[in-house]
Amino acid sequence: MVDVATDLPAATTGAWLHGVVRDADPATLATLATIAGIDGGPVRAVSAAGLVAVVSTAPLDEYGEEPLRRNLEDLVWLERVARAHHAVVEALARRGPVVPARLATVHTDDGRVAGTLAARRAELVAALDRLTGRGEWGVKGFLVPGAATVTAGTAAAGGVGTAYLRRRRAQLTAREERQQLASAAADAVHSALCELAVVGRRHAPQDRRLSGVPAPMVLNGAYLVDVAALPRFKELVGSLGRRHPGLELELTGPWPAYSFVADRPEPALTVGRPG
């Protein structure tokens, strides 16, 4: 996504927006120089309207509108940039609440970034208030493989072919039942976690190639949790895992609150982003 300025045709670099934080004193902002941005150089702060946007210098021959369209189709390039972008957002989140920008949000200059802060100040301040003292935690639930339930006595009347069909039908029925039970267990786990979290959200289950786990994922939840409630939340995840032995629960985090920021800063022109 690129905000194109027609009045600056000679511009060669833009500003890749990582996220927005509260205004801070100069000493605190100086620590940003220790964080590497997407270009390998330090990120910098753009202050306006009592807020700070953290940006990287973005050469427009790589991050301008047309190059960005092409590069977003390059999975190797996309992974490298996404990792660099996340590393900055994660570093900011360790310092306090941050509103993460959408991946590939690029402005042609710092003035445009400042304009975004001023125009969306109320939304951004509300988002930062909502995230203060809270963190995002992920809970993934994987189906525990069940043992085969085929009996040796199924090869009765009807011959080998009939016995095979009976075994196959029994296998499919058992698999469907396990999946239904796992789905119900995932619903119960999510509901219980939402009662303790400030808010919860279910994402689509990840493909096995992305999760790195051979078992099917049936729960991909994100939960915004108060810091004070975190010990109880972790304890609840453990107890729910024992209560639902058909699911293997995995707790991850804390993460920057990607899942709970509706008003994320983005420019006027959208050129596309990964789905």
Domain spans in the chain, listed from the N-terminal domain onward: 2-132, 134-258
Place 40 in a pLDDT band, splitting at 50, 70 and 90: confident
- Nearest CA among 231, 159, 233, 168 for reference residue 196: 233
Q: Which amino acid is at 151?
A: T
For residue 264, the model assigns a pLDDT of 52
For residue 50, the model assigns a pLDDT of 93
Q: What is the pLDDT of residues 51-105, one digit of tens each?
A: 999 999 999 888 888 888 898 899 999 999 999 999 999 989 988 899 999 888 9
d(CA 190, CA 250): 13
Q: Which amino acid is at 149?
A: T
Compute the average pLDDT of residues 237-259: 92
HSE-CB of 151 using CA atoms within 13 angstroms? 5
Which region among 15-24, 88-97, 197-206, 256-265 has the lowest average model confidence (pLDDT)?
256-265
For residue 98, the model assigns a pLDDT of 93
d(CA 226, CA 238): 18
For residue 178, the model assigns a pLDDT of 65
Percent with pLDDT over 70 in the chain: 79
Contact criterion met (CB below 8 Å) for 254 and 91: no
For residue 214, the model assigns a pLDDT of 77
For residue 85, the model assigns a pLDDT of 94
Q: What is the pLDDT of residues 114-155, one digit of tens each?
A: 999 999 999 999 999 999 999 999 999 998 876 333 333 444
Compute the average pLDDT of residues 19-39: 82
Which class does domain 134-258 fall in? alpha beta
d(CA 89, CA 98): 7
Q: Which amino acid is at 254?
A: P
| Per-residue b or e along 70-97, where b marks 16 or more CB atoms closer than 10 Å to that residue's CB | ebbeeeeebeebeebbbebbbbbbeeeb
Whether 42 shows a pLDDT value over 80: the answer reads yes
For residue 177, the model assigns a pLDDT of 64
Question: Which position has the higher pLDDT, 15 or 246?
Answer: 15
Question: Which position has the higher pLDDT, 171 or 249?
Answer: 249
pTM greater than 0.85: no
